[in-house]
Amino acid sequence: MKISLREAGDNFISFFYTLIKAVQVHDLRNDVVQSAAQKLLEYINSILTATSTIEIVRYRDYIFFNKQRLRFKIDRFASLQFIDSKLRVLKIKSLTFLPGISKEEILKFSSIFKLERDIFLKQFTLEKFNHIQLEFATRDDEIPELLKDGERVKRTYFRALKGLRNLMQNLWTNRPVDVISSRRIVYSLLNALFQDEYGLLALATLKNIDEYTFNHSLNVGILSMALGQRIDLNRKSLAQLGTAGLLHDLGKVDIPKEIMYKVELSNEEWEKIKLHSVYGVKEIVRIRELDEIGMVGMVVAYQHHWNYDGTGYPAREKDEKPMLFAKIVRICDAYDAMTSPRTYQPIPYLRHYALRILWAHKHTWFDPILVKAFIQLLGVYPVGSCLELNSREIGLVIRQNVGYLDLPLVKIVINKQGENVDGATVDLSLEKGINIVRPVFPQQYGINPATYFV
């Protein structure tokens, strides 16, 4: 059976991981090690019949296998994360395996791969490796410039925002709606996600109190697709999920604006707002007619305030469970709402704290496995967080380190003297002397994180 390049890459990484792990605990002559090396060798040889080399490249937190980008998926997370962080610590940009490689060479390499960088380098030059080549990363490969090639992703985000605004405003004013526009928005976002997941997630930190509903809907769509990608949904499902995320609050167009944006609601008004889940179904029928994507969108709109433990609204039968996509949107919706300024919540929650709330409510409000995957996606301090460092500087989180969820890359935005600066980028997983003291409110320092991403 022919498998895809991505599957071959996933398999290769997991055979490699098994071997390195075995070598960490056993002697090289041990049976477990020997059989892991044999398996990896056979796999390498089977791939090398079709291609001339096997090349693993690590570039800006992405791992490529013969130029195919591998994804961090929940079932393969441990192996890819391990190899990624190994390559990063050893500062290896590319690792190439050539035909003719033997089991002995594989074993020899795996025994030095576990070492500290200095000893690894010495051993690698000392021992002759004829069928394994290395290229080392430069500083530029390691520390990305802030969204250097993110122009296209940015354009996609703002075009999607405009499209979504048009769609909702037309519904509000009972004007005809362009049905294909929502599809176009989703596919362009999906391409942006495949092209630069981190760049798109950084843009999803954009909040706008005046246009809360549009930004919120778009951010929920993006976060949902990114989370869906982590649990390995295929492209078609991701498109359905993304649409459902974009349209989850569409029913709000039927709620009078004076209630929608009121600071203190009476019980009666609150009950009215809750009806947006039901109204959403009706609005989606209006724009999508009854195609497959529309059907999923309707179910999600109806279920997106259903909790994992059976509570939430609208009321339901005890044994009725929300569909997977509704559970995903439930999490992304809650996270984006908590971290957005609103009329009744001008200072939103710290992103880090919002994740802790999700974590605290896994099992009750949220699906625990999905919450875990969501935190793996965003890290402990999500992009856009501001961190006080022990150097008395303030760093803005601009990217996650996949292998170190609590040690992101930050850009220094406030220096030791308390001045706003366009400072250096620091990889907290590599700079041993710099530690995080605590996350802080960006407002306290007059910072709007999103402005650094656009």
Q: Applying CB under 5 A, which residues contact Fe ion? A: 249, 333
Q: Provide the CA 47 distance to its chain's centre, in angstroms.
A: 30
Q: Which is nearer to Fe ion, 197 or 249 (CB)?
A: 249
Cβ proximity to Fe ion: between 69 and 165 the closer is 165
Tell me whether residue 79 or residue 277 sits nearer to Fe ion (CB atom). 277
CA dist list (Å): 275 to 178, 259, 281, 307 = 25, 12, 11, 16
Closest distance to Fe ion from the beta carbon of 274 (Å): 9
Say how far apart CA 245 and CA 301 lie, in whole Å. Answer: 8
Residue 399 has φ and ψ, to the nearest 5°, of -165, 150
Cβ atoms 434, 409 nearer than 8 A: no
CB of 167 to Fe ion, least distance (A): 16
Least Å from the CB of residue 314 to Fe ion: 11
Closest distance to Fe ion from the beta carbon of 266 (Å): 19
Q: How far is the CB of 276 from Fe ion (least distance, A)?
A: 6
| DSSP bridge pairs for 404 | 401
CB-nearer residue toward Fe ion: 61 or 333: 333
Answer yes or no: are the C-beta atoms of 217 and 185 closer than 8 Å: no
For residue 248, the minimal CB distance to Fe ion (Å) is 6
Nearest CB to Fe ion, comparing residues 142 and 249? 249
Could you give the C-alpha distances from 170 to 220, 249, 253, 352, 365, in angstroms and in order? 21, 15, 10, 36, 33
User: Is 364 strand, coil or helix?
Assistant: coil
| Shortest Cβ 194–Fe ion spacing (Å) | 25
Looking at beta carbons, which pairs linking 421-425 to residues 24 or more positions away fall under 8 Å? 423/393, 425/143, 425/144, 425/145, 425/146, 425/398
Q: Which is nearer to Fe ion, 197 or 333 (CB)?
A: 333
Of residues 196 and 333, the one with the C-beta less far from Fe ion: 333
Tokens of 231: 């649990």
H runs (alpha helix) in 74-129: 77-89, 103-113, 117-126
397 Cβ partners below 8 Å, 6+ apart? 379, 381, 382, 383, 384, 385, 386, 387, 408, 409, 410
What are phi and psi for residue 397, nearest 5 degrees?
-70, 120
| Residue 342, beta-bridge partner list | 345
C-alpha separations of 90 from 94, 138, 167, 182 in Å: 11, 12, 49, 45
In the complex with Fe ion, the residue whose CB is nearer, 105 or 333, is 333
The least CB distance from residue 217 to Fe ion, in Å, is 7
Q: Which is nearer to Fe ion, 249 or 393 (CB)?
A: 249
Q: Nearest approach, Cβ of 295 to Fe ion (angstroms)?
A: 19
For residues 385 and 352, is the Cβ–Cβ distance under 8 A? Answer: yes
> How far, in Å, CA of 353 to CA of 439, rounded?
9
**Residue number, 147 or 331, with CB nearest to Fe ion:** 331
Record the tokens describing residue 16, joined without a space: 């490699």
**Residue 340: CB minimum distance to Fe ion, A:** 10
Strand ranges of the sheet holding 394-401, from the earlier edge strand across to the other edge:
425-427, 404-414, 394-401, 386-389, 436-440
Nearer to Fe ion, 314 or 418 (CB): 314
Helical packing angle, 212-230 and 324-338, nearest 10°: 130
Q: Give 88 or 304: the residue with its C-beta nearer to Fe ion.
A: 304
**436 vs 33: CA distance, rounded Å:** 39
**Shortest CA distance to 13 belongs to which of 43, 38, 33?**
43
Supply the minimum distance, in Å, between the C-beta of residue 246 and Fe ion: 11
CB 108, min distance to Fe ion, A: 55
